[in-house]
Homo-oligomer: A and B are copies of this chain.
C-alpha cells in the first residue's frame, strides 16, 4: 500500500533489461555513443520532430532549470503557476541556473493556470528599466494538483505568452500520464500547442533516473550543452541514461505504463467516491489525487500499513496526497480502500 510517490517505485523490467544490455563493452563518453544516438532518433520520431535537439539529464529539477536558463536572461521573469514544482519544490534551482531570474507566480484553480491571471501578469511585468522583464512561460502537465491540461488549454496559454514574444516550457515530469489521460499525441501536447522546450520525464514512470530535455527549435543546442556540462549534469557514461530511455520507449510501453498508473488512480478514486465523508480537493484526472477525510483516518490507515503524504487540506480536515504508479496493483488499491472502510 505504497502511495507516497511514483518515485518510490522501482524501475520496470524493460528498463532494467536495457540497462543490462547497455553494459556490454566500451563506448565513447559524454553522449558520443550509439545508444544515445538511437534514443535521440527515437524521441524525434515519437514527437514527429526531426530537427528537435534532445539531451539527457538524470533529474527533473536539472531538466527544468537547465531548459529555463536557456530561455530567460537574469533580468527577466518566468511566469509559472503559484504551486509549480519549479516554484515550490526545487529549492530555488531556476534562480540558481538563470543567475537570478525571477519567477512570477500566477494563480488558477486546481493547479491550472488561469488565462486572465496570466494576461494580467504579462501586462504588468516589464517595460521600464526599473522592473524585471518578461522572459518565458512555464507550464506543468500533469499539474501539481493532479489535473491535466488538454492541448487546447496549453495552446491558449502559450498564445498569450507568444503575443509578447515569449518562449514556452513544459515541465513534463508526468508527461506520459498527461498523454494517457487526454489521448493527445506527444506532438499535439507540445510543439503543436506552442511549447518550445519540454522536460520529458522518465523517472516517475519506471526509470531509475532520467529525463530528456527536448528543444523543438535547435538554436539553443550548444548553449544547453555548455550549461549542462557546467552544472555537472553531463554524464561521462551517458549510455546508462540513454539505456533507460531505450527500455522506456520500447514498444510504446511507456504509454502503457502510464495508462496503468492512471487506471489504478481511477479505481482508487472510484472507491473513495463511494465513501460519504471523503472529498477530493481537486478533480482526479491522472495518477495523483488529494482526498480529504475525517479526523482519525490518517492514524488508522498508517496503522494498517498505508504509506502516503499527509497534506494540509484547505478545509482544515485531514488531507492526503496519494500517487499511483506503473507498479501499483489492483490489490494495493483494494487493500487501501478496505483499510479505509475500517
Contacts and interface: CB of A to CB of B under 8 A. Distances in A.
A235 B211 CA distance: 12
B75 A227 contact: yes
Interface residues of A, number: 73
A91 B240 contact: no
Contact of A226 (B5, B16, B129): B129
Nearest to A8: B26
A229 B128 CA distance: 10
Interface of A: 2, 4-5, 7-11, 16, 19-20, 22-30, 57-66, 73-75, 88-93, 95-103, 129-133, 203-204, 208-209, 223, 225-227, 229-237, 240, 307, 327
A90 B208 CA distance: 25
A129 B96 contact: no
A66 B91 CA distance: 15
A-B interface, 3 closest residue pairs, ranked by CB to CB distance from nearest: A62-B232, A95-B100, A7-B236
A91 B132 contact: yes
Contacts of A204: 236
A199 to B, nearest CB: 11
A274 B26 CA distance: 28
A157 to B, nearest CB: 22
A233 B96 CA distance: 13
6 contacts: A60-B236, A62-B231, A62-B232, A89-B130, A133-B226, A209-B235
B92 A237 contact: no
B10 A24 contact: yes
Contacts of A203: 236-237
Contacts of A26: 2, 4, 8-10, 307, 327
Contact of A229 (B8, B99, B129): B129
A66 B96 CA distance: 13
Contact of A130 (B74, B133, B229): B229
Contact of A30 (B29, B95, B129, B132): B129
Given A4-B28, A74-B99, A93 B131 contact: no
A91 B130 contact: yes
